[in-house]
Amino acid sequence: MILFLTNSLLRPLNAWHRWGHWLMIAGLLNAAPSHALTAAEADASFASYNAAFYFTNGSNGFYRATTEGGKTWFWERAEQMEMILDTYERTTNVVCLTMFKNIFNGFVADHGEQWMRNEFNDDIMWMVIACARAHQITGDVKYRAAAKINFDLCYERAWSTNLGGGLWWKISNQSKNACVNGPAAIAAHLLYQICGDTNYLAKAENIFHWEREHLFNPNNGQVYDHITAAGQVAERSFSYNQGTFISAANFLGHTNDALLAADYTMHELSRGGLMPSYGDVGDAAGFNGICARWLVRFAKERGLKERYQPWLRANADVAWKHRRISDDLMWSRWQQPTPEGLLHSWSCSSAIVLLQVTPLSN
């Protein structure tokens, strides 16, 4: 059931804090380029990223791990595939679909058609989401088949009644994390959309409600990272967990929960008006792109664009302003100029996603 947005249902943030937050965003907008970021610049950012990192071997496509070579790992590559779909949804450029097909081929060449050798259940759910989205866009049944069989296998090994339900993060069954339960709820709902099977809808609801009960603070919208097998909650928050919770809540009609989580991300997690400054090495480097993708979709579908657009545009403008002029690459710490030397493709992906999904000028 969709809950209507009323002030009585939400705990308002301190008025002075909100006023200070918007003053900071205004300052960022004034410090950013004088013009609104354009679609042409979003195009340029994607083209520069691909020039630096994308390569093919026959019909197999890959992304380099760094500007010096290598290949990105399982879940990073899945999210780069989503980045391509984000770009296609903005541009409808069919070149993006060819790139996605090539990278899917390369992924299967590296990891096979069934992915249970990977001990991380969240990794599998990220790739399920990418494939389900690809089927929605292209109608290609191989993407739907890959999403369905790997979701089913992963859910079977990861869901348990311990701690009242939820999915384990890894096969060692030591913790149940937001980073697997949020994406799994999204994946299940996407499978419901593309397969028409209400069992997936039920799974999406069950996973979401477990995460809401165990890893969500309904007073302020914070999404906690994980709960251990012994029942201890780690109360730190990351932008990608906020984003996937927002998406699952949005898909399932829990609008006020999504609103609380989105406001927490903008007002509390993004201190100073900019999204968190994660390091350029490691998993966190790509978190902000995931957050932006799902928060923007929520805002569009619920008529809340004006609530979040100034903040998102401020981030996009600062990222583009701080790009590396020699090749237009932007790293994950876009609060600072992108440095010369080696860059990681995963770190550079967040800004690309942000520029693709944020409403821009023509």
34 domain-assigned:
yes
Q: Whole-prediction pTM value? A: 0.91
Domain contains 247? no
Within a domain: residue 341?
A: yes
pLDDT of residue 271: 82
- Has residue 29 been placed in a domain? yes
Instruction: For residue 343, give the nearest of 114, 51, 101 by alpha carbon.
Output: 51
CA angle 80, 240, 34 (to 5 degrees): 80
The residue type found at 307 is R
CB 265 within 8 A of CB 243: yes
Does residue 89 form part of some domain?
no
Rounded CA gap, 126 and 122, in Å?
6
Produce one character per residue of 39-55: b if its CB has 16 or more CB atoms within 10 Å, e if not.
eebbbebbebbbebbbe
pLDDT at 9: 36
> Domain of 326?
11-70+271-284+304-362
Domain presence at residue 206: no
pLDDT at 16: 35
Tally of domains in the chain = 1
User: Which segments in the chain show pLDDT lower than 50?
Assistant: 1-20, 22-23, 29-34, 362
- pLDDT in the model for residue 184: 98
Gap between the Cα atoms of 302 and 262, Å rounded: 12
CA distance 258 to 54: 34
Residue 97 in any domain: the answer is no
218-277 confidence digits (pLDDT tens): 999 999 999 999 999 999 999 999 999 999 999 999 999 999 999 999 999 998 899 999
In a domain, 33, yes or no: yes
Helices (H), 222-304: 239-251, 255-264, 287-301
